[in-house]
Amino acid sequence: MSLGAAEVISNTRNASAGGDKPPLIDIRNLRVTFPSGGAEPKAVLKGIDLAVQPGEIVGLVGESGAGKTTLARSILGLPPSPGRIAGGEVHFEGRQILSLSESELRRLRGRRLSVVVPNPRAELNPLLKVGDQIASMAKIHLGVAGKEARRMALEILREVQIPDPERRMDAYPHELSGGMAQRVVIAMALICSPAFVISDDATSGLDVTVQAQILALLAKLAAEHGSAMLFISRDVGITAHFCDRIAVLFSGEIVEIAPREPLFLEPAHPYTLMLLAAFSHSPKLRDSWTVPDTDRRRERSAGCQYADRCPIAQPVCRTLRPPLAEIGPGHFVRCYFPVRHA
């Protein structure tokens, strides 16, 4: 499977990364907390700033517990329970999403903003034919009549390259393979041509050859519909080939964000280097970016969240929280001592 199409699309798009145009979606200082046993709630997102340009695919990587899914859901005003949005703004098409009423939000979600999640079977109603489920999205959000909605559903099923789409319209979810169910969920997310799509690890459960087909499809549809995407993944390798820019999330903070070439060829945050070293198959490289025997789940109350795990931390790192600073064009890093490459 070649990602040729995606490559071409993203090359024309790179110039816009962090450019002068107004962003499609602008997340400012988004903070989410979860109640903890103590008096202070636990901060899960600690001030996320992220702007995505029209047509751009931004990758979001990080390990479990970093806050990836919390971010995906909070952008839509739906932090995972019992989380609470503690502050910040999400600007989208001239509106501040987080201040909208529940009914205004409902009208926006699914129509202008969509999320594709893993585990497609949990998203589909087992008692309804997939064609009706897809068509109902168009009926609810676009107000089209039943016949037109079914025509649109068939067309989007064709676009997501489901084999034999006429027959699949009348299939129930259990009759579909995992790859096909995932395509149905993607079709539901895209039928209203949303401007912004969040893919929350939506391809990780698929086999590699199916995954490659779905990624090429997402890139193609994004380009054709002019939509932008936040592509959240556990698989760092995919983002190197599929995304224009990549943000690295650690402990509820973006610690590095850059266009894909500087991010992978000149990574600057010690956490990014540690993460990439995990894929190098070299214990020596991994050791050089790891502090042995640190508790990975421990939170710091002051300074850099990564200070205890960082092999190059200095005293200042334990007292002052570093800001996100630009070290190259569009390349930002939250570190006082970013790694430089010769």
Partner 1 sequence: MSAVLTIDNLYKRFPIAGSKQVVQAINGISLTVEPGETLGLVGESGSGKTTVGRCIVGLIEPTAGTIRFRGTDLAQRQQHKAKLAGKIQLVFQEPNESLDPRMKIGDTISEPLLPLKLDRETRRRRTADALRLVRLNPDLLDAYPSELSSGQQQRVGIARAMVTEPELVVLDEPTSALDPTARAEIIDLLRRIQSERNTAYLFISHDLSTVRFISHRVAVMYLGMIVEQGSAETVFNRPQHPYSSGLLSSVMLPHPHLKIESSVSLKGEIPSPINLPNGCFLASRCPFVIDRCRHEMPPAETVGERHTVHCFRHDDVAASVPASDTFNVFMKEAERILGRAVPSGVAPSLQ
Q: Which residues bind partner 1 (CB under 8 A)?
A: 1-3, 63-64, 163, 177-180, 207-213, 234-242, 260-261, 264-267, 273-283, 285-286, 288-290, 296-297, 312, 316, 322-323, 325, 327, 335-342
Give the nearest distance from C-beta 320 to partner 1 in angstroms: 8
Counting beta carbons within 10 angstroms of the beta carbon of residue 259, is it exposed (0 to 12), middle (13 to 18) or buried (19 or more)?
buried
Cα angle 199-203-207, degrees, rounded to a multiple of 5: 175
Q: Which is nearer to partner 1, 194 or 252 (CB)?
A: 252
**Number of Cα atoms under 13 Å in the Cβ half of residue 259:** 18
Q: Among residues 132 and 205, whose Cβ is nearest to partner 1?
A: 205
- The torsion angles phi and psi of 143, rounded to 5 degrees, stand at 70, 20
CB of 62 to partner 1, least distance (A): 9
User: Do residues 289 and 274 make contact, with C-beta atoms less than 8 angstroms apart?
Assistant: yes
User: In angstroms, what is the minimal distance from the CB of 258 to partner 1?
Assistant: 11
Q: Which is nearer to partner 1, 30 or 240 (CB)?
A: 240
232 beta partners: 60, 200
- Smallest gap from residue 181 Cβ to partner 1 (A): 12
Alpha-carbon distance of 78 to 75, in angstroms, equals 7
Q: Could you count the other beta carbons within 10 Å of the beta carbon of residue 68?
A: 21
Tokens, residue 30 = 């988004």
Shortest spacing between CB 259 and partner 1, in angstroms: 9
Taking the least distance from each CB to partner 1, the nearer of 53 and 272 is 272
Strand order from edge to edge, sheet including 84-92: 42-52, 25-34, 84-92, 95-96
| SS3 at position 199 | strand
- Please, what is the minimum distance in Å from the beta carbon of residue 105 to partner 1? 32
Do residues 307 and 300 touch, judged by C-beta distance below 8 A? yes
Taking the least distance from each CB to partner 1, the nearer of 97 and 236 is 236
CB closer to partner 1 out of 102 and 164: 164
Of how many residues is the chain composed?
A: 342
Minimum CB separation of residue 315 from partner 1 in Å reads: 12
Q: How far is the CB of 155 from partner 1 (least distance, A)?
A: 20
Q: Give the SS3 label for residue 116.
A: strand
Of 97 and 219, nearer to partner 1 (C-beta) is 219
Between 114 and 239, name the residue whose CB sits nearer to partner 1: 239
CA dihedral of 314, 315, 321, 323, whole degrees rounded to 10: -40
CA angle 113, 193, 11 (to 5 degrees): 90
